Structure 1
């Protein structure tokens, strides 16, 4: 009862969209408006927790010793160490270590430090508030607009983390992985000028230090972008992949594509292949760049989304992932199953259009040039048909006679009357169903269709 009373008082400060009322001394009622968000309440308690306050001070190099901290926050040393003990296993995942020599800090690479703090701040605020004190959101936004960097709240957070740490003198170390990543990237020269301009505005770093910061940040921002089938950058990035074809993230992506195509016996068109390959490429690069989970405090929304699908879809996705795991050469990539499986599932659903894939390509020859009308009739008869373009190979030619211009095996030709009768349409319906069943009812193709269904 006392806890609920305290929460009711807190709600008065947290939001105007909800309140707790006691009903007839028997139970409590939460009243809320349509615009009430429980995340607002979560954020309030999180940022006022001792753990949050301690790690926030570590980010800014302000955590000098535990004794001072506990006095300022009206707690005990024992209570603080209990919290630290609980967090240590999480830090291990990021290859970071809590130390308290001259002052409290986290030991590890600056790269890992920044990744941890991106998740720390992002999963605390989800872009609903600005947690950074050394750089203002408005200033960064103004500079992004000035140099024409596409807006994204996550990009803003990464910029704020890198700029804040640079201002504190905690600089990114050279690493060949992101140095090589920028070497043959088609947009690095243009994008680096924009990022360097922002670093010069906010910091007094040397040109060499800004170059390292820019390479690091560019590689992250590139991985955060999602590439669509019609994106012009896809073909340029395919050339980028050729330059890096011996890199592990490229080799793992090639293996993924080969395994996927073989496992489901699917043929991808050029746009589907390109978009899927490039998005996977960046996902695998990011996985190899950072150690640690994909989220803090909260559940992984990609994993949760997958788990909300029907059991059959989850099982199919797991079967495919087990197939990926068979090649030990890429174990370092695919061992991060808890991060990747949900993201793979989302990419497949976004990229592959299974509804338009299940068609039979046909061509129609008619003495009275009645092709459009005949196709509309066939489409009403059997929906899974598509007219070939001029240069495409037809799976079935439908014609009223054996013209000399028809260059096709006789078994792939269907002949009917110049004005088709009902019996002609009945015959054609059976023929199309036979072709469709043979082509699409294979077990592995049915698995893919189930996996990518709207259910």
Structure 2
């Protein structure tokens, strides 16, 4: 739920992303259709955007010719920084950062920012409703976020990582270089072995612990009940916590170290740490209903399709575990924001019949919040079916898309065509290795044998026909692969 002023800001960001993705002039009506907004709304936001960019310090501009718009920028411009600057003007950002850093701002200044006392109160209520999605509460007088400490920390991580990663360091009260020096002084293998992105994620987690510790919000008990005999790097986690937040009581130190290990492992890409966390959970599985459920589900699917020897099996197993943890314990606060149309792809439908038989059978023992959760069902099926697809060679299908509807329509079609299978590659008009051209307009005669014609607005039957054509091309390419003999 967003305040009205925030909706305007995020609409502008959406418009900028679409305009930046195209080098051409785009029609107002196409932008409105693409973003599912009214023509009047888009026209208003575009005019406002022209002024916003004109008054900014960035080397960008939005050019208007009649009802056509084109975004112009220098190659050195960081668009993520521009998007972040727009977000900074949102009420959501203002309230979240005030809650995180406990900044004391006089009521009069707040009222000036929000135009009126009633406007301020209304937006606090909207923010409070938003936090309820994460099982958290908001103290309207102090703007303090209250509730489960781990939930709060995961919410903070989501907010900062989604909006600031790769753009700028978001923690004003913590010197990033000093934090790195503190950790490096310990000379731990843990930090040295991380990739650059893993190090950045780890720094975010440690920074959040420091912020919470400065407000006396420490984990007194180990809410993440991992077994007490952790692997050797647990000592390194304890050293890092002790170094960065100071001397604390032994039990609290252990709880914070276990939390840091658990939180970091949920976000890292390191297969080693994923395997280790799953091994620790396996030792103490009676305390972990979620892990037991995921293990049962994964085992059944793996036995059906012989997947446990696949090199990416651990990654998928862990992704499913993370999905259930984030959906149930943390109210979805780390849910990835992927497009829902992935769940409608052709990959899934091939395996849905078998999956539909044993998924409810496994989930019925764990309650309706799992067995009747459509998002979990579709996401798990998508992960499994992708793994099956990767288990066998599939030749790449090179597709070119042409539309008389222009760049926006081609972009929409591209996304949907790519969702039909994971071996589809969209090629430009100059590609020489095309397998099929999908078009609603006449194409050069020399390429006619490659063309699949359909309407500007394809019907469901035409989509089904395209899927069959792609399957036929794939089968033909497989038959033409030469056999390798000794």
Q: TM-score, normalised by structure 1?
A: 0.63
Contact between 2:285 and 2:292, CA under 8 Å: does it hold in 1?
yes
2:165 is aligned to 126
**Between Structure 1 and Structure 2, how many residues are aligned?**
344
RMSD (Å) for aligned C-alpha atoms: 3.9
Q: Larger C-alpha radius of gyration, 1 or 2?
A: 1
What's the offset of the Cα at 1:248? 0.9
Shift of 1:65: 6.9
Which residue is 1:109 aligned to? 148
2:106 & 2:351 partners in 1: Cα distance?
Answer: 48
* Superposition TM-score, scaled by structure 2 size: 0.59
Is 2:392 the counterpart of 1:355?
Answer: yes
Indicate the residue corresponding to 1:80 in structure 2: 120
Q: Structure 1 residues 95 and 232, CA, compared in 2 at 3 Å: closer, same or farther?
A: closer
Partner SS state of residue 98, structure 1: strand
Q: Equivalent residue for 1:213?
A: 256
User: How far apart are 1:181 and its partner, in Å?
Assistant: 1.4
CA contact (8 A) 1:222 1:282 kept: no
Structure 1 unpaired stretches of 5+: 358-445
Aligned residue for 2:226, secondary structure, equals helix
CA distance in 2, matches of 1:233, 1:2: 48
Match of 2:216 among 150, 159, 169: 169
Q: Give me the whole-angstrom Cα distance separating, in 2, the residues matched to 1:154 and 1:74.
A: 33
Q: 1:322 to 1:107 in 2, by over 3 A?
A: farther
Aligned to 1:431: none
Q: Assess if the C-alpha contact under 8 Å between 1:250 and 1:281 holds in 2.
A: yes
Match for residue 5 of structure 2? Answer: none
- Once the two structures are superposed, the pairs formed by residues 134-145 of structure 1 within 5 Å of their partners are 134-145=173-184
Counterpart of 1:51? Answer: 92
Q: Is it true that 1:251 corresponds to 2:292 in the alignment?
A: yes
Q: Which residue of 2 aligns with 1:195?
A: 240
Relative distance call for 1:278 and 1:2 in structure 2 (3 A) is closer
Corresponding residue SS for 2:168: coil
- How big is each residue's C-alpha offset from its partner over 1:51-98, in whole Å with a ceiling of 9 and x where there is no partner? 311221111222567555223x26212222332333333211111122
Match of 1:21 in 2: 63
The offset of 1:99, in angstroms, is: 2.0
Aligned partners of 1:174, 1:321: CA distance in 2, in Å?
A: 40
Determine which of 330, 353, 359 is the counterpart of 1:324.
359
Of 175, 184, 194, which residue of structure 1 is paired with 2:229? 184
- What does 1:56-455 align with in structure 2 at a 5 Å threshold? 56-62=97-103, 67-71=108-112, 73=113, 75-101=115-141, 103-146=142-185, 147-148=188-189, 149=191, 150=194, 151=196, 152=198, 153-176=200-223, 178=224, 180-181=225-226, 183-196=228-241, 199-203=242-246, 205-226=248-269, 228=271, 231=272, 234=275, 239-246=279-286, 247-261=288-302, 264-266=304-306, 268-269=308-309, 276-278=316-318, 280-294=320-334, 300-301=336-337, 303-304=338-339, 307-308=341-342, 311-316=345-350, 320=355, 323-326=358-361, 327-331=363-367, 332=369, 338=375, 341-342=378-379, 345-346=382-383, 349=386, 353-355=390-392
Alpha carbons of structure 1 residues 259 and 34: separation in structure 2 relative to 1, 3 Å: farther
Q: 1:154 to 1:96 in 2, by over 3 A?
A: same
In structure 2, the CA distance between the partners of 1:337 and 1:190, relative to structure 1 (3 Å rule), is farther
Q: C-alpha displacement at 1:275, in angstroms?
A: 5.3
Q: Is the 8 A contact 2:63 2:72 kept in 1?
A: yes
1:38 CA drift (Å): 4.5
Distance verdict in 2 for CA 1:218–1:15, change over 3 Å: farther
1-structure distance, mates of 2:208, 2:165: 15
Distance (Å, rounded) in 2 between the aligned partners of 1:224 and 1:312: 29
User: d(CA) in 2 for partners of 1:232 and 1:209?
Assistant: 23
